Structure 1
Amino acid sequence: MQSNFNFFKLESIPKSFDILKNKPNQLYYTGDPTLLQSTHKIGIVGTRRPSPYTKNFVFSLARKISQNNGVVVSGGALGVDIIAQNAALPRTIMVSPASLDIIYPPANVSIITQIAQKALILSEYEKNYAPKNYSFIERNRLVIALSDWVIIPEADLQSGSMQSAKIAKEYHKPIFVLPQRIIESKGTNYLLQNSLAQAIYDIDAFIQAIFGKQTKPQDEFLKYCKDMPTFEEAYLRYGDKVLEYEIEGKIVRENGLLKVTL
C-alpha cells in the first residue's frame, strides 16, 4: 500500500548502530527524530498471533514505558509489535522493512499512520522498496541495535523473534520474556530454560528497575471505578482497559460491580 508520508534522510546515522557488522549506509525517517535521543529505548517484539494473556501484558507494559518517558522500539508487524506501538504512542519508534513510500503491513495502516504523525518511523531504503524474505531480519537487526533492552513476550521456536533474540545476545542486549505455560510460547520458554533471558513477573517492578521511581499520572479510570460501576458500563466506556486493570489486580469484580483494590 502506498503512503502519503513526507520523509527525509537523517543527517547522521545514530551511534546505536555502530555495533552492527552491516551498519546502514543511510536512514530515512518520517515523524519526530528527537525520539532517537531518548535515554530509555526498549524493544518489544514477538509473535504475530499472541494469546489474550500476552496481548494484555504487552499493552500494559508498553503503556507504562511510555508514561515513564521511555520509548518502545518495534517493527510494526501484526500482533505483539503493533499492540506495543499503539499502546506507547507517541513514545514509539517503528523500523520498517519497506521504504517509507510503502505502508507495510497494509493491515496496520491506521496505527502506522498515527506513528508517522505522532512518533517516528525509520527505514534504510530510499523508495520503491517492498520487503523481501530477508528484509525482516535486516529490519530486526536495527530494532535490536537501537534498543537498550529487548522484551520478547511470546514466540515460537522457529520464528523471527528468536532470530531477534540471537541478534540481541550477539550484541549483549539484556533480554526479558513473559512467563508462559509449558505448552505455549516454546521460544521464550527455551530462552528462560537456558538462562538466555530474564522473566518479568511484575510489570511495576520491571518499570521500577529500569526507570527508578515511576511516574504516576492521575488515573481517571480508577477514579471512575470508585463509584463501583457495573462491568458492562465500564467496558462500554473504557474498553479493554477494564480487562487490563483486572489482570494487574487494580480492580476486581464483585457481583457484577467493579471495585478498586488499591
Structure 2
Amino acid sequence: MSLSQEEAFARIRLLRSPNIGPVSFRQLIRRFGTAQAAIDALPDLARRGGAPYRAAPPETIAEEISQVRRARARYLFHDQPDYPPLLAELDSAPPVLTWRGDVSLAAKPCVAIVGARNASAAAVKLARDFAAALSEAGFTVVSGLARGIDGAAHRGALPATIGVIASGIDITYPPEHTALQEEVAGRGLLIAEQVPGTEPRGRHFPSRNRIIAGLASGTLVVEAAPKSGSLITARLAAEAGREVMAIPGSPLEARATGCNQLIRDGAMLVQTPDDVIELLSGFDGTPRSSFREAAPAFLFADEELADAEPADVTSLLTTAPVAVDELIRQSGEPPASVQLALLELEIAGRLTRHAGGRVSLAA
C-alpha cells in the first residue's frame, strides 16, 4: 500500500509513544483506522486504564527521520508489499523497521543460523560452510551480526544474507564487525527495529531474536551453551510454528550442550546442508520438529475490536505472567473485549506483555 507522508509520520510517532508495542500498535490501528486517530485517542484510553498520558513529541520524530536519512536507511511499515511475508505472520512483528540494502532478500526462502559468540574454530567453519551451501541452494541466510557463529554465517552467505541488529540502524555492535556490518548493508540486507542512535542493551537482544526467527522458515543452531540467546531464538522459532534444527556435538564439550538439549527436546538433528534443504524446501508451515507447540491465539475480526467495550479483567491479573487465552476463559468475555481492556492497561503503563502471548501487571 502507498502511505501518505502524514500517515507515515503518525505511525512512527504512535510506535515511539510511551507504552506502545507491536501488539498495541496493531490493535490501535484496527480500532481507530489511522495512526493519527489512534494518537488522538491515547489520553482517553490511558485515563480509562488509570493514568495520564502524553504522546511522543512531533519534533522528536522529525529528528529521528533525519537520522534515518543520514544513515542512508529507509523505513518499512508492516502492511507494505516489501515487508517480509513470514515475519508479518507474527503477532509481535515490528510495525516499523529501518533497513539498508536489498529488501527483496527477505522475500526469498530464509533460514536462520545462530550459535555461540565464543564458538570453537570447528563450529565457526561449520557455520560458514553451511551458510555458503544454503545460499548456493537459493536460501537467504539470516543472523544477528554477533561474534562467533553469526559472523561466520554472514561471511559464508554473502551477498545472500540478512543481518538483524539489536541497535539503531546507524550503530555497529560489536565494534570489530564494523566492516562486516557495512558489507551486509551494502551487498545484503541490514534490518533494525530500534530507534537510530540506540546502543544495544540486554533487553534489545530477545526482541532482535524474534525478528531473526520470524524471518525464516527454520532456525539452525550450530553451537550453543545452555540458557544462551541462541536457544531463545530457537524457542521463538518454535512458537512461530517454524522448523527448529540443531547440529549435535560431543557431550564432553560444554558449548555443544545447548544443541544436544534441543535435539533431546524435539529439534531436528542435522549433519549436512542437504539435511536443512530437505527440511525447508517447500516448507508449508508444518514443522517436523516437535520442540514446542505454537502459542495459542484467539482471533477476532477488525470490526469486533472497533466495536468492543472493555472487559473487567484487572482482578484476574497479578505480576505473574498469564496467557491471554486463560484470561478470556476465566472472564467469559469476548476476546476483543479482553484485548481492549489489556490495551487500556498497557497504554496506562500498568501492563507488561511477555513472550508466548502472556501478560502481567507491571511490577
SS of residue in 1 equivalent to 2:96: coil
Query: CA shift at 1:127, angstroms?
Result: 1.2
Aligned residue in 1 for 2:125: 56
Q: Decide whether the 8 Å contact of 1:64 with 1:207 is kept in 2.
A: no
Change (3 A) 1:209 1:172: closer
Structure 2 residue matching 1:95: 3-state secondary structure: strand
Q: CA deviation at 1:131?
A: 1.2
**Amino acid paired to 1:187:** G
Q: What is the root-mean-square deviation of aligned Cα atoms in Å? A: 2.0
Q: TM-score, normalised on structure 2?
A: 0.55
User: 2 CA distance for matches of 1:89 and 1:79?
Assistant: 16
1:192 is the counterpart of 2:263: yes
For residues 249 and 125 of structure 2, the distance between their equivalents in structure 1, rounded to whole angstroms, comes to: 13
Check the 8 A contact 1:31/1:121 in 2, yes or no: yes
CA distance in 2, matches of 1:210, 1:132: 33
Q: Which amino acid aligns with 2:276?
A: F
One-letter amino acid of the counterpart of residue 188, structure 1? C
Equivalent residue, structure 2, for 1:68: 137
> Which is worse superposed, 119-128 or 40-49?
119-128
CA contact (8 A) 2:218 2:242 kept: yes
Secondary structure, in 3 states, of the residue corresponding to 1:27? Answer: strand
Aligned-pair CA distance for 1:133: 1.0
- Aligned equivalents of 2:204, 2:165: Cα separation in 1: 9
The answer to whether the aligner puts 1:134 opposite 2:203 as a matched pair is yes
Q: How does 1:24-43 map to 2 (within 5 A)?
A: 24-38=94-108, 40-43=109-112
1:6 maps to a residue whose letter is R
Report the CA distance shift for 1:69/1:78 in structure 2 as closer, same or farther (over 3 A).
same
Point out where structure 2 has 5 or more consecutive residues left out of the alignment: 1-66, 283-363
What is the TM-score with the length of structure 1 in the denominator? 0.75
Cα deviation digits, residues 199-250 of structure 1 (max 9, x gap): 11233343355459xxxxxxxxxxxxxxxxxxxxxxxxxxxxxxxxxxxxxx
For each residue in 1:104-161, what CA deviation from the matched residue of structure 2 results, as whole angstroms up to 9, or x when unmatched? 2211111111101101001112311111111000000000000111100111111111
Structure-2 residue corresponding to 1:124 = 193
Q: Residues 157 and 187 of structure 1 are in contact (CA less than 8 Å); yes or no, is this contact kept in structure 2?
A: yes
Question: 2:111 touches 2:140 (CA, 8 Å); kept in 1?
Answer: yes
> 1:49 and 1:76 mapped to 2: Cα distance?
13
Determine if contact 2:86/2:217 at 8 Å carries over to the other structure.
Answer: no
Give, in whole Å, the separation in 2 of the partners of 1:114 and 1:82: 12
**Structure 2 CA distance for partners of 1:182 and 1:43, relative to 1, 3 Å:** same
Can you list the C-alpha shifts for 1:175-221, whole angstroms capped at 9, x where unaligned? Answer: 111110012211111111222x1111233343355459xxxxxxxxx
Quote how far apart the aligned CAs of 1:168 are: 1.4
Query: Rg: which structure is higher?
Result: 2
Indicate conservation of the 8 Å contact 1:74/1:93, yes or no: yes
Which aligned pairs between 1:69-84 and structure 2 lie closer than 5 A? Answer: 69-84=138-153
Runs of 4+ in 1 over 6 A off after TM superposition: none
Instruction: Name the residue aligned to 2:347.
Output: none
Partner residue of 2:273 out of 199, 203, 206: 203
The aligned runs of 1:138-153 (5 Å cut-off) are 138-153=207-222
Name the counterpart of 2:173.
104
Contact 1:68–1:211 under 8 Å retained in 2: no
CA distance in structure 2 between the partners assigned to 1:200 and 1:86 by the alignment = 21
User: Is 1:7–2:73 an aligned residue pair?
Assistant: yes
User: Which one-letter code corresponds to 2:142 in the other structure?
Assistant: V
The verdict on how the C-alpha distance between 1:205 and 1:191 changes in structure 2, with shifts beyond 3 A counting, is closer
Distance 1:121 1:113, change over 3 A: same
Identity between Structure 1 and Structure 2 (%): 29
- Count how many residue pairs are aligned between Structure 1 and Structure 2: 209
Could you say what secondary structure the match of 1:150 adopts? Answer: strand
AA aligned opposite 2:133? K
Structure 1 position 43, deviation (Å): 0.3
The answer for the alignment partner of 1:247 in structure 2 is none
| Alpha-carbon contact 2:130-2:272 (below 8 Å) kept | no
1:16 is displaced (CA, Å) by: 2.1
Compared CA separation, residues 20 and 206, structure 1 to 2 (3 A): closer
**Structure 1 or 2: larger helix share?**
2
Is the alpha carbon distance of 1:170 and 1:211 closer, same or farther for their aligned partners in structure 2, counting shifts above 3 Å?
Answer: closer
